[in-house]
Structure 1
Amino acid sequence: MPRRTATMLASTLLLIALLCAGVLIKVPYSEMTPGPTVNTLGEHDGEPVLQISGHKTYETTGNLNMTTVRVTSADYKMNLFEAVYGWIAHDNVVVPHDTLYPDGKTEEQSTQENAEEFSQSQESAKVAALKELDIPVQSRVIVATVLKDSPSEGKLHAGDVIKDVDGTVVEQPDDVAKLVTKHKPGEDVVFTIVPAKEAAAAEKAGKEATVTEKVTVTTEKAPEDDRAIVGIQAGTDHTFPFTIDIKLADVGGPSAGLMFALGIVDKLTPEDLTGGKFVAGTGTIDDDGKVGPIGGIEMKTVGARSKGAEYFLTPEANCASAAKDIPDGLTLVKVKTIDDAVDSLERIRAGKTSELPSCSTE
């Protein structure tokens, strides 16, 4: 066999072997790609994303799009060839598997956690939006979860309203832990509660719950330190003056909070927030309207621009990362609160785009 032919054959076989190895060798990485983007002012799967009843609403124009990221599933084993391609591709990001699924989290656990975060983000979006419009919202501290085999199991229940702990009125979920940890493990804590059923019945009737109970729980030592605990997670429940429903399935996580809140504000405001412009964005939001960072910002800006977005509301903490690779034609707008976002939308509507707070790589 001629030397040149032999060399070409050997090279071909080596290439085939490398390609096969790239397919067969599994690596501990996962991939993130741009996901769907949905206009919170519009419809999804044939029904309005935001449905408000019991209060006057107004026509809206333009877009306030929430953005998402697609990720490979927890049990998907990426091969070396896919990882290398992902590193090279502009619109993909390859990250260590543990970044997306820490502590061996399963697909089912991740889905459940994302669903819970998504539900909480909707509630916070409603609260933040109504506060922005100076519409009163009633809030109360509740038992959010009760840990299995904890001192509170069978005594306190999810949905119980916590009025006070040892006679001290609680106003925030953190107050509960602070009051419990004043005790030593083995001491009793007395909770004054409105049982969940009573609270739900009163809310349905539009009345204030008056039936309370005192529940005594004996504390135990926390597994990680010497703190006294009772095995509950306190949370916040809200009573809204009218009905706000967010209809969006197959989405998880907390990052749509800001855009949901802005969509609600727009529908309840005579002034058209966007002025017909295509605005997208992302960011968690808390009850006080503070905007928090999210993951996959680069994928979200790409996905938004590909759908036609001209402006992207970007959490301050994500600005530096997002500014490293801004899609052509997209303006990043830095926001820290819902107030910032509303002010920026006013500038966009008025054509004062030079006054927008911008993101930089610093």
Structure 2
Amino acid sequence: MPRRTATMLASTLMLIALLCAGVFIKVPYAEMSPGPTVNTLGEHDGEPVLQISGRKTYPTDGHLNMTTVRVTSADYRMNLVEAIYGWLAHDNKVVPHDTLYPDGKTEEESTQENAEEFSQSQESAKVAALKELGIPVDSWVIVSTVVKGSPSEGRLHAGDVIKKVDGKDVKEPSDVADLVTEHKPGEKVVFTIVPAKEQAAAEKEHRAATTTKNVTITTATSDDSGARRAIVGISAGTDHTFPFTIDIKLADVGGPSAGLMFALGIYDKLTPGSLTGGKFVAGTGTIDDDGTVGPIGGVEMKTVGARDKGARFFLTPADNCAAAAKDTPDGLTLVKVNTIADALDALKDIRSGDTAGLPKCTAKG
């Protein structure tokens, strides 16, 4: 066999051996890629994404698309060949596995957490949109979760309305922790609550809940890395009553990042005219009850997914601007927003066609 042929054969066999080895070598990475994008003004799986009853709505047009990211599952172990391909691919991103699933989080735990965040983002989107429209929303503090094995287990329940702690009014979720930590571990704290069942019945009958009861709990000692303090083993949150029904019908989506686009879709349906002027606008961002827009993960994947579907403008949380601007898809304008009011101002310029003054993302933010 000629020497050159032998060398080529040996090189080919070596390459095959390396590829085979790469398939079997598992690496601690996960992959992110562009996911589906859905028009909040349109339909998904045959039904409107936003369904509003009990209040006049108006026709809409154009697109206000929420965007998503696909990620490999928690139990999937990427091999070396896949990781290298992902690093080289333009539209994918390979990240350390623990970035997506910290502390050994399982697929089930991650799915549950994403579902809870998605549900909360829908509530905040409704509140933010109605506040921007000047429509009153009733709010109160509730028991959001109860830690298993804590002093509150079996005594407080998710959905209980917290009216007072030690006789002092509770107006914000943070008030609960502030009042509990005034105690020393081992001391008793008194919660005045409306039981969750009573609150649910009152809401169903469109009346104020009047039945309250006092629950006394002996505090325990915190076991985290922070300062030693009294705890009762609950997290407090906020619940709302809306003056009409707003349903968001979108399955198989998780996380909080669609909040801004849901809020804009709700606002558009409740106001005459079109927010977009028929233009294709996409975006992302968390939103809180006051309309503040927060950063999200995977923004580079979301801009790619949006542009592939035809978006020309992308509403981008200010804190994500620098990352998004590093590799902006051709034909897509990144618009910086800090609040829902910023987004509405930007949409006014977009629908008028006067986009020169839009606050655009740059590599510096």
Confirm whether residue 18 of structure 1 aligns to residue 18 of structure 2. Answer: yes
Q: Show the counterpart of 2:151.
A: 151
Q: Which residue, out of 246, 249, 255, partners 1:247?
A: 249
C-alpha distance in 2, partners of 1:215/1:109?
Answer: 30
C-alpha distance in 2, partners of 1:153/1:94?
Answer: 41
Q: How does 1:148-227 map to 2 (within 5 A)?
A: 148-224=148-224, 225-227=227-229
Deviations 1:153-199 (A, max 9, x none): 12111111111111111111010000000000011111111111111
Q: Show the counterpart of 1:66.
A: 66
Q: CA deviation at 1:317?
A: 0.2
Amino acid at match of 2:87: W
Deviations 1:284-330 (A, max 9, x none): 00011000000000000000000000000000000000001110000
Q: How does 1:343-362 map to 2 (within 5 A)?
A: 343-362=345-364
> Partner of 1:255: helix, strand, or coil?
coil
Q: CA deviation at 1:88?
A: 0.8
| Greater Cα offset, 71-80 or 312-321 | 71-80
> Partner of 1:353: helix, strand, or coil?
coil
C-alpha distance in 2, partners of 1:109/1:150?
Answer: 20
Q: How does 1:47-86 map to 2 (within 5 A)?
A: 47-86=47-86
C-alpha distance in 1, partners of 2:150/2:12?
Answer: 64
> Partner of 2:356: helix, strand, or coil?
helix
Q: Show the counterpart of 2:42.
A: 42
Amino acid at match of 1:163: K
> Partner of 2:114: helix, strand, or coil?
helix
C-alpha distance in 2, partners of 1:54/1:10?
Answer: 75
> Partner of 1:354: helix, strand, or coil?
coil
Amino acid at match of 1:8: M
Amino acid at match of 2:138: Q
> Partner of 1:355: helix, strand, or coil?
coil
Q: Show the counterpart of 2:311.
A: 309
Amino acid at match of 1:37: T
Q: How does 1:323-362 map to 2 (within 5 A)?
A: 323-362=325-364
C-alpha distance in 1, partners of 2:176/2:279?
Answer: 45
Q: Show the counterpart of 2:3.
A: 3
C-alpha distance in 1, partners of 2:219/2:272?
Answer: 53
C-alpha distance in 1, partners of 2:181/2:165?
Answer: 11
Q: Show the counterpart of 1:320.
A: 322
C-alpha distance in 2, partners of 1:70/1:218?
Answer: 45
TM-score by length of 1: 0.99
Moved over 4 A (4+): none
C-alpha distance in 1, partners of 2:34/2:280?
Answer: 18
Q: Which residue, out of 266, 279, 283, partners 2:285?
A: 283
Q: Which residue, out of 289, 295, 299, partners 2:301?
A: 299
Where structure 2 has 5 or more consecutive residues not aligned to the other structure, the ranges are: none
| Contact kept in structure 1, 2:59 and 2:273, CA below 8 Å | no
> Partner of 1:273: helix, strand, or coil?
coil
Q: Show the counterpart of 1:258.
A: 260
C-alpha distance in 2, partners of 1:343/1:326?
Answer: 22
Amino acid at match of 1:342: L
> Partner of 1:85: helix, strand, or coil?
helix
Q: CA deviation at 1:9?
A: 1.4
Where structure 1 has 5 or more consecutive residues not aligned to the other structure, the ranges are: none
| Contact kept in structure 1, 2:335 and 2:359, CA below 8 Å | yes
Q: CA deviation at 1:271?
A: 2.6
Q: Show the counterpart of 2:138.
A: 138
C-alpha distance in 2, partners of 1:221/1:77?
Answer: 39
Q: Show the counterpart of 2:106.
A: 106
Q: Superposition RMSD on alpha carbons, in Å?
A: 0.7
Amino acid at match of 1:226: R
C-alpha distance in 1, partners of 2:250/2:2?
Answer: 66
Q: CA deviation at 1:339?
A: 0.4
C-alpha distance in 1, partners of 2:37/2:334?
Answer: 16
C-alpha distance in 2, partners of 1:111/1:153?
Answer: 24
| Contact kept in structure 1, 2:50 and 2:247, CA below 8 Å | yes
Q: CA deviation at 1:2?
A: 2.1
| Contact kept in structure 1, 2:349 and 2:358, CA below 8 Å | yes
C-alpha distance in 1, partners of 2:4/2:267?
Answer: 72
Identity across matched positions, percent: 80
Amino acid at match of 1:44: H
